[in-house]
Structure 1
Amino acid sequence: MPRPARFDTPLLLDAAVRLAATAGPLGVTMSAVAKETGAPSGSVYHRFPSRTALLAEVWLRTVERFQEGYYAVLATESDPRRAGRAAARHVVAWCRAHPDEAALLLYGAEQFGRADWSEEYAARAAEGNRRILGAVTALAEALGATGPRAAERVRLALVDLPLSLVRRHLRADEPLPPHAEELAEECAAALLG
């Protein structure tokens, strides 16, 4: 029976998240991940054939974890207004619970080398985005939000405003205030009507 890997993929990706949160995407290198975990660099290269693959995987794992909870909120609530408020609240709550991951997501996929990702990674990203956009579009339709202006208002309520609240505090390296979730929900309610 083979020995379990001492430096498995989740451990290496966790280290990459910490590095990205403190030093940005440029701080996520193969040698930095090896140093952060105490792993030999061969262990990192065994799991990620290149820095591009490492950056893609750390980005995708993080965004997919966020999207999983966000999608669940949108898909399980039958009342579209409640779903919208809950989705806005989820953005802030998830970021509070996962500050390193939230800091990583503030950079955007482009800074994690998206232009150089393999077709497989690009397809994963596109599928996740398509799923979330579909759920937001369905919520907009359920609210009767037709036309570009109404659709933009829904996206503002569910995505942009909660993220701007989080971004301001994370970039200032300060904790989210205790009322942040309530504020995101109130803003969403006001925009959704």
Structure 2
Amino acid sequence: MARPARFSDDDILDGAASALAEHGPRATIADVAAAIGGPTGSIYHRFASRDEVFARLWLRSIGRFHAGLLAAYGLPDPREAVAASARHVSAFCRDDPLAARSMLLHRQSTLAAEGPAGVRDEAAHINDDIDAAMDDLLLRRFPDPTPHRRELLSMGTRLAPYGIVRPFIGGEVPAWVDDAVAASAQAIVGLGD
């Protein structure tokens, strides 16, 4: 009878997030093992390489981030959905600083093209649900949903809020940032009116 696993995938990814916070992007599998209090063999039993561990950490962090963003995009009032989606960016980075830091590890396009073979497809499609939800919000927010208005919506609800929050990642994200990202989002998206 096989012995039950001592560490789950999530335990290992939690350890990778802690190792990343302590050692930065050069964290090693030995650092991850130390963070979980286990041997490196436990990690290599579940993951093929260091690159796969940190790619999976990125995917998990993005997935957790997307859950709240999907909820914000789905709010009935499209103007409130714009503000809520921007606020979600700063609130998530404040509430889950390890995941926020982990989201800095990769660019989606690079991981999809050059990441470990086992994660490329998931990385390539990680934004599919978010893109669909944003397109739905676009249709609700603008009577004539042009490509330019889609760019404004993407900039206002995803790119600009993340750009505002990013300098704070790794430290405290001040509460006032929530209002700043919401105001920025409304202003940017409002350019399409």
The residue aligned with 1:137 is: 135
Could you report, residue by residue, the CA deviation over 1:87-123 in whole angstroms, capped at 9, with x for unpaired residues? 11111101100112111212323699551322x5222
Residues 24 and 109 (structure 1), Cα distance of their counterparts in 2 relative to 1, 3 Å cut: farther
Measure the CA separation in 2 of the matches of 1:20 and 1:164.
21
User: Alignment length, in residue pairs?
Assistant: 188
TM-score w.r.t. structure 1 length? 0.86
Q: Pick the structure with more helix per residue.
A: 1
Unaligned stretches of 5+ residues in structure 1: none
The residue aligned with 1:178 is: 175
Residues 160 and 132 (structure 1), Cα distance of their counterparts in 2 relative to 1, 3 Å cut: same
Does the 8 Å CA contact 1:89/1:185 hold for their aligned counterparts? yes
The residue aligned with 1:121 is: 119
The residue aligned with 1:31 is: 30
Show the 5 A alignment for 1:33-182.
33-75=32-74, 77-109=75-107, 114=112, 115-118=114-117, 120-144=118-142, 146-170=145-169, 173-182=170-179
Residues 1:18 and 2:18 are matched in the alignment? yes
Structure 1 position 136, deviation (Å): 1.2
Measure the CA separation in 2 of the matches of 1:5 and 1:24.
28
Q: Secondary structure at the match of 2:26?
A: helix
TM-score w.r.t. structure 2 length? 0.86
Q: Secondary structure at the match of 1:101?
A: helix
Q: Secondary structure at the match of 2:94?
A: helix
Structure 1 position 60, deviation (Å): 0.8
Unaligned stretches of 5+ residues in structure 2: none
Measure the CA separation in 2 of the matches of 1:135 and 1:22.
35
Does the 8 Å CA contact 1:21/1:101 hold for their aligned counterparts? no
Measure the CA separation in 2 of the matches of 1:105 and 1:126.
15
Q: Tell me whether 83-92 or 140-149 shows the greater mean CA deviation.
A: 140-149
Measure the CA separation in 2 of the matches of 1:150 and 1:48.
42
- Work out the percentage of aligned pairs sharing the same amino acid: 34
Does the 8 Å CA contact 2:55/2:106 hold for their aligned counterparts? no
